[in-house]
Structure 1
Amino acid sequence: MNRQIKLRQFVTAACLNLVLWTGIYSQKLYETDYQQYNILNRESKEVFVNHLLDEAEALLKEKTSNLHDCVDKQDAYNNLLMLYSREQFPNDTTIDGICARHPSLIIKSNTECHRYYNCSGEDTDLSWWIYYRLWPSKFKHECHYPFMFSEETMQCENYTEVDCSKRYEPTWECRYFRLTCKLTRCKPCEQEYISCEDREDGLHSSPDQPLHYPKYITCDNGRRIDEGRCPTDAVWGVQSFPYNGTCVQLFAVPKDFNPYGGLPSCNGTVDGDYQFPAGYCLGYYKCEGGVATAVKCPNNTIFDTARKRCEVGGNCIRPT
């Protein structure tokens, strides 16, 4: 009996010691983890603060640099205002002296919308020609076709985004110096680039190709903005050609406009429906008041030569 009591007391004491030891050990672990957390948290905060300081320093340097540029440009433009007040405008003659005093200046040409002055550098494709006295100054620049110099962005932009006001606005590639033929052994610019200066807006037959070629150019505000080849007409099954500002199938192109067209003239012809002289049987042309119109027969029909109408199984006599 005493032995059981002693055993029970021993077990109880052991359990109490275990609980006490576990509590003490857990407290030490907690304190250790807490200390490590504080160390990591402090290090993270230091890294974050240092990152913010680096960003702030970089931003400050950038703003300071921009401020210096703005001050320099403001001084330059103040001097230009003084020149303008004396009616001394930057031009091909005065620009070298102006750039010597203001090396970061960028300014438009007062007379030409596609050209400007940049005192900070040169375009060797242009300045190379100074030696031949074909280009006035290394500080004079020219946009690439069809770009113009914008007073708002101070750089070359598409002509649709620029207001040239009274400045000369070229519309043809050959009005750009960089594209012109400058030596005797080069291909003339007018042979390289088709002009739309005297053409209405829209699609036109390509003037450098024979009329039986389906190539076209597209003009907009005196500029050639596109070129290509008219497709085969899916409905008529024949080649299309430029006519009246668009690509139309062969039998809608009047012979009076293009001798290779398939639409005859109805001048002096009685009103009615007629077979195409070329023997095309899937349609016909209608004369009405001297005006010719191409008409496509409905599906599964052809133009009957004798009855002069589209019929299923019609008898279309092709000329020999």
Structure 2
Amino acid sequence: MLWAVSVFLILLLLPLKECTGASFRGLLSSLAENMEQSRESAQHASALKNFRSFSCTQRKDGLYPDLSSECSSYYRCLDGAVYSYLCPSGQILTYGSDECRPKTEASCPEVPPATGPCVNQPDGFYPNYSEKCRAYYGCQNKSVVGGWWCERGAVWDLSTGSCKSGGDLVCSPPSCWGLPDGPHPSPASSCNAYFVCKNGVRTDHICAYQTIFDYYHKRCMPNQSAVCYDQGCEGKINGLHSVPKAPCHVYLRCFNGALVGLESCPQNYIFDGQQCVLANNFSCWEEGQGTCQGLRDGIHAAPNSECRGFFFCRHQQLIRTFKCTQGLVFNGKECVRKENFVCNSQSIVCTNKTDGYHTVEKTRCKSFYLCRGGVKMSVHTCPGNNMFDGEQCVDPVLHQCLDNTRHQQTSNLTNRVTRSF
């Protein structure tokens, strides 16, 4: 376990060309030395646990102390990404400083600047960060109505509104350091809470029942119409990602499973799961369905959509569904005019079919599809008057397409095609 923690922290240091307050070699040496001490090892584990509770989204580049570690660890924000560091033993980092200093020469506040309890706060329960979330207080009509302690070492959990016990307890008060004025999602709250910054001072808020904080709209919205962007990067690889229920032109930039930025395509463009594209022939389709199990990365035709729907897969995960505009259909690659593609999606079923190409019934041999492992992989349509002869599209003088009601298996061992006569 110690080896894994060491590797993780070292990797976090690699992207930086130089280290603040010490040389890169000196910092790695200090890190290795500290890891050999059991007390310091626990400190490293705690720093990693708190890593997910700090966000650099919209925060200025710079160094920020981790108050939950009494400033013995800190974060560096760089282009929206967050990196975690540890000060050398006996040193801490104060906000505004560019290096760790001995504890006798620096100070660490208990909590960042914030308004008093219940000042401008909605009714509800809030963690008492001064007591490391082991206590909480209640607000009603902008006044404190009581304070309570969680029992047996539990801490107040914003995501569930309850006292929580277990091995992954984190109490990290949010700060307005480096953030612009306005609302921001509270980390580790499952979008059930947010805080408002004004002149560097934080005011905590919780969303009303059955609402969550929507980062794009900057307010609490009903669950069914809101998006929890704060969790949008969990389990995602580094890069750009779309989010179900989000506007078509909005996408996430993710790094190490954390949200780096919420970005938008230019006007008249939408995000197709990989990049911004001109939205002149299709749009997002929130009601669309599809499964990516066994499918390659890319776009695939959606079932029961009259050939207008399609969806995008990445790593066998459904990224987003789309729908061609009225008058257009999806031909397996793009949206085209109806007269240029024969739609018969209901008959395209690969269950119990051999791997290979199969002709779509009642299309006069113009359309065919590829099955693999019982899953439809792609749909094809021959151009012009060409017909599918079981292997490829050919001139109709080279192939006679008879009634589609009689089928036979070919003996082609190359792609095991089912032909129609």
TM-score by length of 1: 0.34
Structure showing the higher helix proportion among its residues: 1
Structure showing the higher strand proportion among its residues: 2
